[in-house]
Amino acid sequence: MSKMFRLFSLVLIAVMLIGLGACQSAPTPTQAPAAPQPSATTAPAAVQPAATATTAPAQPAAATATTAPTQPAAATATTASQARVLNLWYYEPPDGALGKAWAAAQTQFLATHPGVTIHFELHTFEQIQQTSQMVLNSSSAPDLIEINKGAGNAGTFAVDGLLTDMTAEATKRGWDKILSPSIQTTCRYDPKTGIMGSGNLYGVTDYGEFVMLYFNQDMFTKYGIKVPTTVDELYAAADAFLAKSITPFATGGAEYPAQQIFYMLALSKADRTFVTNYQLLKGIDFHGPEFTYGATEMATWVQKGYVSKNAVSMKAQDMQNDFEAGKNPMLMGGSWLFGGFQTAKLPFKWDMELWPGNKISLGSGGNLWAIPAGSKNKDLAYDFIDITLSKDKQTLMGNSGGLPINADTTKITDPQTQKLNQLFAQLVATDGIGFYPDWPVAGYYQDLVSATQELMNGTKTPSAFLDEIAAPYNAAIKK
């Protein structure tokens, strides 16, 4: 009896344990840390990923109006639960030339990669600028991301081992033939020093950019003021508008615009040697004639009222809004604003010219497509870059107001867009590309924002401003 009872008890316990194991739910997978979220943006309507994944085909379908990517995505059939996703981040606005071309690229990518979906996040420049180091160094990194160029950004990420070396893939796909040597300058970085211009191809751009003078033609006509093409005419126009109680220039001190005014003024006194020495960390005299003029003249602009004192706390979008509202007749801005101005259908005539008096202006090849080292879908990322470099997407970019590097220029029909491309070609032909002030040093962008705001506020003299921005630059040289 006792033995039978013990045997019955053991059987009962075993049954209970089996039942408990069967009832227990599967453990919830641990999710990767959430990536920094964009502010209230969605993927372009034309390229929303399908709600349910489909199986990937053995070969991608033929591309519409373009050549299919040289290297198709992985081709083995998968079940819906195994369908692949290209995680894509960039910060170009959807109404701009790049945003339109890249939305079309997403559409073609989905058409040529059945069973693959795109998870697209539209961020802002500032979000990427401030979080890219953290994102690239995490498991939340996308498969393909737009990053800022220069030693302080792409170069730093390359040194830290956060980016994929695309040199071999670029040669295989023929990108090295599309990217001219001057454009490749901002794509190549020394993996040991991060210095731009040589080394491995850690980024690929599909456009060029430069900073110029935008102006409200109607305001110039209304007040009988000549549109400036020389530096003397620029100052004469600014003084004439001031006499009418109109602030001549729109800008923003809280982001990049104001520091670009400082650098453009400095470049008016610079030559190619100065630019090369500054950008490649060979060392410069921060109290030399170039930067001294830039800082002193920037302070004078604020004192005279060429830019509003309130601009110190304004952002790039605020600057753009003021120009579009007709508050300021002139704006120093990049070619990246051109498409937005066209799309906005401004209620006044506007035009643009190279910055008066400068042989060298801010500009470069565009920001970079980069593939994080930890990407699990590098083949898909390569395919997407391939599509953005295709003739039809490049021509679409050109007709939307961009500066493509591989377009059929005979099919760019808009007169203003033709002029934009001609101005850029003129800069390139005369070796007039001066890059950007924040490139040489990691974290230099925010250093320049803070220092420029102090210069505009009058809390720092031009000399003290130059000392402040010299410190991190010289510290980087010593490293």
Q: Which amino acid is at 22?
A: A
The pLDDT of residue 85 is above 60: yes
Backbone angles phi, psi at 88, to 5 degrees: -125, 125
- In the chain the domains, ranked by start, together with CATH numbers, are 82-207+366-407 (3.40.190.10), 211-361+436-478 (3.40.190.10)
Please tell me the distance from the alpha carbon of residue 258 to that of residue 250, in angstroms, as a whole number: 10
DSSP 412-423: ---HHHHHHHHH
Which helix (H) or strand (E) element contains residue 316? Answer: helix 316-324
Please tell me the distance from the alpha carbon of residue 266 to that of residue 259, in angstroms, as a whole number: 11
pLDDT at 340 (0 to 100): 86
Range scoring the smallest mean pLDDT among 7-11, 15-19, 56-60, 259-263 = 56-60
Which helix (H) or strand (E) element contains residue 216? Answer: strand 208-216
pLDDT at 46 (0 to 100): 36
In the chain, the percentage of residues whose pLDDT exceeds 90 is 70
- Strand-pair category, 208-216 with 200-201: unpaired
As given in the structure block, the two tokens for residue 63 are 């591309």
Of 13 and 431, the structure prediction assigns the larger pLDDT to 431
The pLDDT of residue 64 is above 70: no
The pLDDT of residue 443 is above 80: yes
pLDDT at 28 (0 to 100): 34
- CB atoms inside a 10 Å sphere around CB 304: 13
DSSP 103-133: HHHHHHHHHHSTTEEEEEEE--HHHHHHHHH
CA 454 to each of CA 9, 140, 218, 296, 306: distance values in angstroms, whole numbers, following the listed order: 82, 36, 34, 13, 17
pLDDT at 167 (0 to 100): 98
Closest to 186 (Cα-Cα) out of 171, 170, 204: 204
Model confidence band, residue 154 (pLDDT cutoffs 50, 70, 90): very high
DSSP 429-454: HTT-B-B-TTSSSTTHHHHHHHHHHH
Please tell me the distance from the alpha carbon of residue 444 to that of residue 152, in angstroms, as a whole number: 7
Model confidence band, residue 468 (pLDDT cutoffs 50, 70, 90): very high
Q: What is the CA radius of gyration of the chain?
A: 27
> What average pLDDT is seen over the chain?
85
Predicted TM-score of the model (pTM): 0.72
Q: For residue 119, what are the β-bridge partners? A: 87
pLDDT at 82 (0 to 100): 66
Backbone angles phi, psi at 163, to 5 degrees: -120, 155
The pLDDT of residue 314 is above 60: yes
SS3 category, 371: coil
As given in the structure block, the two tokens for residue 332 are 């120093």
Instruction: Show Cβ contacts of residue 410 under 8 Å, excluding neighbours closer than 6 positions.
Output: none
SS3 category, 369: strand
Q: For residue 120, what are the β-bridge partners? A: 88
Helix residue ranges per DSSP H, 325-372: 338-344
SS3 category, 90: strand
pLDDT at 180 (0 to 100): 84
Over residues 94-116, the pLDDT tens digits come to 988 899 999 999 999 999 999 99
Please tell me the distance from the alpha carbon of residue 176 to that of residue 168, in angstroms, as a whole number: 10
Neighbour order of strands in the sheet with 368-370 = 116-122, 84-90, 144-147, 368-370
**Mean pLDDT in residue range 11-38:** 35
Q: Which amino acid is at 284?
A: I
Of 340 and 455, the structure prediction assigns the larger pLDDT to 455
Please tell me the distance from the alpha carbon of residue 127 to that of residue 94, in angstroms, as a whole number: 16
